[in-house]
Amino acid sequence: MKKEMSKVYDPKDVESRIYAWWQEKDYFKPEVHQGGKSFTIVMPPPNITGQLHMGHAFDDTLQDVLTRFKRMQGYAALWVPGMDHASIATEVKVVEKIRNEEGKTKEELGREEFLKRAWDWALTYKDRIREQVKKLGASCDWDRERFTMDEGCSEAVKETFVRLYEEGLIYKGSRIINWCPDCKTALSDAEVEYAEQAGHLWHIRYPIAGSDDYVIVATTRPETMLGDSGVAVNPNDERYKDLVGKTVILPLVNKEIPVVADDYVDVEFGTGVVKMTPAHDPNDYEVGKRHNLEEINVMNEDGTMNELAGKYAGMDRYECRKAVVEDLKELGLLEKIEDHVHNVGECYRCGTTVETMTSEQWFVKMEPLAKPAIEAVRNRDTQFVPDRFSKIYFNWMENIRDWCISRQLWWGHQIPAYYCDDCGEMVVAKEMPAVCPKCGGTHFTQDENALDTWFSSALWPFSTLGWPEKTPDLEKFYPNDVLVTGYDIIFFWVARMIFMGLYNMGEVPFADVYIHGLIRDSQGRKMSKSLGNGIDPLEIIEQFSADALRFSIITGNSAGNDIRWQDEKLEASRNFLNKIWNAARFVLMNLDENIMDQQDAALANLENTDKWILSRMNDVVRDVTQNMDKYELGIAAQKVYDFAWNEYCDWYIELVKPRLYGDDETTKAAAQYTLNLVLTNILKLLHPVIPFITEEIYGYLPGAGEAIIVSEWPEYDEALHFKQEEEDVRFLMACIKSIRNIRSEMDVPNAKKTQLFVITDNAARGELMLKSAVYFEKLASVSGISAIVKDDVQENYVSAVVEDAELFLSMDELVDKEKEIERLNGEKAKLEKELDRVDKKLSNKGFTDKAPEKVVEGEREKQRKYQEMLDKVLERLAYYNQ
C-alpha cells in the first residue's frame, strides 16, 4: 500500500519537488509521445529587462494549459521557451547601470566593451526569468530554449535581411520617421503610442510677398516653422484661389516660400491655410513630395535645435518654442493662442514625446508583404480567437506604411551592410566581404545601426525551430498550431510573424491566434509602477501556491476580455485545492489497494448513485474537451470545479458513505471503484490548470499510471451514459434539498430527526424514495419514510412540492413549541411595524398624488407582500395557541 497522504496539503513541499521530477523524466519533451501528431506553441519571448509580472503569468498559464491538454491527448507537444533581447529597453537599462556604477557613458566604454556588459546583463536576466517561469509550472522544453540573439536566430535574421534586400524589399533612404530624443533612435509607427495632451494652437501671420496683407496659419509646434518650405491651401477653397502660386514670407527666417494647392488641406480646420514642414511632419512630407518642397531638418537627435534653426540653434525644442512665440509677439505676427487638446505620439518604451523628422534609415517595403498576409487571414488560413480582433489586424495591415527597421543602438542585430573604406561602396551580405566588388579594396566598416527588435521576433515561429537550416524540428513542428498573446501587440508582433512566415516559409506560421485580455486591478485600471497597483506573481506563489494563482487566472477568463484581479479569488482557489486534497484523502482511506482489479465485478453491481456520478462525469468530460478545443479555458475550468465540488464532493461522497461503512462487500466494491475512477478523471481534467496538486494526488491512487502529466486524457464513453439514473438521483437530490430548506427556515438542528411523509402518483418515484431511505436519513435527518394519501395530511404538517411528489414533515417533531411561539411573535411585531409604515405612506394623499406611479405601485406591492407574510405568521400562531 502506498504511503498515506498528509492531513494538510503543503504546496511548498510539493511544487519544487514535482517540477524537478518532471524535468528529470523528460516529460516536457515532445519525444515523450514520439509517434504522436505534433502540437506546437512558441512562447512570446519576455524581454530581458525585468522579472515575471502578471501579464507573463497570465500568458504562460494559458499556454501551459493548452500544452498539457494536448500532451495528455497523445500529441507530441512542443512548447518552445525563449527570451527577447529587447534592443531599446535593454540598452537603456545597461547604459543606466554603467552610469550609476561607473559614472561612464557607453561611448567612453566603446562598442566592444559595452556589448560585453550587455551580454552579461542578458545572461543574468535570462537565468532569472527562466527560474521564475519554472515556478509557475510551465511545461516547456527547456533544452530547446531560444534567445533572439543566439547563433541560430542571428543566422535567421541575416538570411532574411539579405533575401529581402536582394529582392528589393529592403532599401536605405531618407524618409520621414519617428524619432525618440531620449532613446536617440528611430521608431516604427507601431512603437509610437498616442495620448491626449493639453496644448495650444498658435495662429501666426505669414506676410504675403509684395503685399501688405497676410495669411494666418495655425500650428501646435511653432518651433518647427523654422523648417517650413511652403504653405498649402485646398484647391477648392474660394478664399485662397488667387493666392496659389504666389509666395509668403516665413516669419523669423525672412525668406520667401511658395503657396501650393493640395487636397490634403482641411477647409474646416483652423484658417484653411497649413504650414508645410516636410522634414518634421508625415503629412507635410507627402505633400512636399507632390510639390517638390524642400526638406529642412532643424532639429538634432537629442531634441535640440541645429544650425539650420539660426539664432535658436542649441536650444531645447520646448525652450525654442517659447522663444519663437515671444519673438512672434514682438513682431506683431502672433494673431492669437487657443487652448487645444490633441493626440501626441510618445515613445512606447520611455514615454518621451516623439519627434517626426526626415532621416536616412533602412526600411522594409511593406505593400508586397502585407498583401498575402491580409489574404491569409481573410481566407482563414490563420484565425483570430475571438474573430473580432481580425478587424484590428486588417485595419493596420491595409493602411501600413514602409517599416523603418534601423535603430541607432549598439545592442541588437547589427545590420549586415558593409561599406568599403576605400571607395564607399555598400555591400549587403551575411558576412563581411573579403574584396570590394567595385574597387577591389579589402577593408570594410559594418553599418553601425542595429535592427528593430521586432525584425528578429517576427521570425520566432521558425527561427526557434532551426531555420534557415532544414532541421527535423522545423519539418515536424512548423507551422505552429496556436499563438497565445495579448491584444496589445497584434500589430507589433502578430502581423509581422504572419508576413515573415509567408515570405520565408511559404505558409502561415500558426493556425490560430488566441487573443487574451489584460489583467487589471480591482478598479479596472491597468497595472503599472506609477500607480503602484502591480502584483508580483512570485509573491502570490510563495503565499498561496502556483496552482492557486493559475486557477485564479483561468477561472473567469474568456478570450479577448480583460480580467479584474480580486484577492478573494485566491482564497477561493486555495479552498478548492484543499477541498480536492481532503476529498482524495477520504477516498484513499476507504479504498482497497486492488480495487481497480475488480472492475468487472464493480461495474456489474453499480447502484443508481454510481451510475449517476459516472454519467455526469461522462458529460463533463465531453463538455470540457469541447471547451478546451474552442479555447474556452475559463468555462472548462469552471465546469470541472462545479462538478468536483458540488456533485462529487458534496453529494456523491456523502451518498456512498453508508455503503463504505456497511458490511455488503459487493456494493462497497462498486462504490470504491466509482469513487476512484471519478476522482482519477477529475484530476486529469484539472491537471492542465492545477498541475502540481493533481500530480501529487495521482501518485497515491491505485491503478494510476507513472505520471498524470503523460496519462491519457479522458474521453466520452457512450456506455457510461445513464439517463434514467441521472433523472432519478436528480429527483432524490431535489427532495433532500427541499427538506433541508424547510429545516433551515425553521432553524431545526440536524440532531433532531423527523418522519417524512410522501404523496406521489408516480409509482416509480415512490418506490425510489422508499428504497433510498438511507440517503434521506443521512443527508436530511429523516427518521423514516412513509407513503400517504391526501386525507392523511394533518394540520401540523409543513410541506414542500417537488416534481412528481409532495413532501410533508411534522412540525411538532421539528419545533420547540415555546421557542417557535416566541419567534413568531417577534416576526409578527416586525411585520406589523412595516405594514403600519406602508399604510401611513399610502394614506398620505400628497404622496399618492405626487409620487411617480411606479413608486406608488412599489409601495402597494410591499403592502400586499407584508400582509401575506403576516397572515401566514398569524395562521401558525393560531395553530400553536389553540
Q: C-alpha grid cell for residue 58?
A: 497570465
Measured CA to CA in angstroms, residue 849 lies from 785, 844, 846, 856 at distances of 57, 9, 5, 9
Nearest-angstrom CA–CA distance, 518 and 81: 21
Measured CA to CA in angstroms, residue 530 lies from 353, 519, 525, 526, 534 at distances of 18, 16, 12, 10, 9
**790 contacts 759 by C-beta, under 8 angstroms:** yes
Half-sphere exposure of residue 173: CA atoms within 13 angstroms, side-chain side? 12
Residue with cell 558576412: 431
Nearest-angstrom CA–CA distance, 659 and 466: 59
CA angle 665, 667, 671 (to 5 degrees): 110
Peptide bond into 372 cis (omega under 30): no
Q: How many residues does the chain have?
A: 882
Nearest-angstrom CA–CA distance, 301 and 183: 9
Nearest-angstrom CA–CA distance, 831 and 838: 11
Nearest Cα neighbor of 87 from 191, 193, 204 is 191
Nearest Cα neighbor of 811 from 826, 825, 794 is 794
CA angle 109, 113, 117 (to 5 degrees): 105
List the beta bridge partners of residue 63: none
Q: C-alpha grid cell for residue 414?
A: 547589427
364 phi, psi to nearest 5 deg: -100, 130
Nearest-angstrom CA–CA distance, 743 and 80: 57
Q: How many Cβ atoms sit within 10 Å of the Cβ of residue 109?
A: 18
Nearest-angstrom CA–CA distance, 283 and 264: 8
Is 878 in a helix, a strand, or coil?
A: helix
Nearest-angstrom CA–CA distance, 371 and 687: 42
In which element (H, E) is residue 808 found? strand 805-810
**393 contacts 377 by C-beta, under 8 angstroms:** yes
**98 contacts 106 by C-beta, under 8 angstroms:** yes
Q: C-alpha grid cell for residue 374?
A: 491580409
Is 444 in a helix, a strand, or coil?
A: strand
List the beta bridge partners of residue 356: 178
**298 contacts 305 by C-beta, under 8 angstroms:** yes
Residue type, 42: V
DSSP strand E in 102-189: where? 146-147, 170-180, 185-187
**756 contacts 809 by C-beta, under 8 angstroms:** yes
Region of residue 631 (left: phi > 0; alpha: psi -120 to 50; beta: else): left
Residue type, 477: F
**340 contacts 201 by C-beta, under 8 angstroms:** yes
DSSP state of 245: T
Whether 529 has a binding-site annotation, put simply, is yes
Residues that constitute the known binding site for ATP? 529
Residues that constitute the known binding site? 529
